[in-house]
Amino acid sequence: MLQDLDHPERRTRARQRIASACELYLCATGETCAGILRSLDFGGARVKISSRSIVLSGRVQLRSRTQDHGTFRVVWQNGQEIGLQALIV
């Protein structure tokens, strides 16, 4: 039987849950994609994109109504949900 110590949590702190309209700017193509910012912290973000058919990859800029959150790298996508890793530019 496996113990909890054998499989530590990937994240030491839970991300703060939010639901705010946002826009992703795809650096490679210059296109934009609307979404909902689900969580955000210093290391990354989770976004639900509005399009069901778009597949994102590479670098994106994340913008909300109140501010520009910086440049991120798409690290995973599961349907409309994407995970972003913060990049230091």
Domains delineated in the chain: 14-86 (2.40.10.220)
88 or 74: which carries more pLDDT confidence? 74
User: 17-62 pLDDT, tens per residue?
Assistant: 678 899 999 999 999 999 999 999 889 999 999 988 888 899 999 9
The C-alpha angle with vertex 87 and arms to 82 and 89, in degrees rounded to 5, equals 145
Please answer whether residues 79 and 52 qualify as being in contact, where contact means their C-beta atoms are separated by less than 8 angstroms.
yes
On whether the CB atoms of residues 62 and 69 are closer than 8 A, the answer is: yes
Rounded Cα distance, 15 and 6, in Å: 23
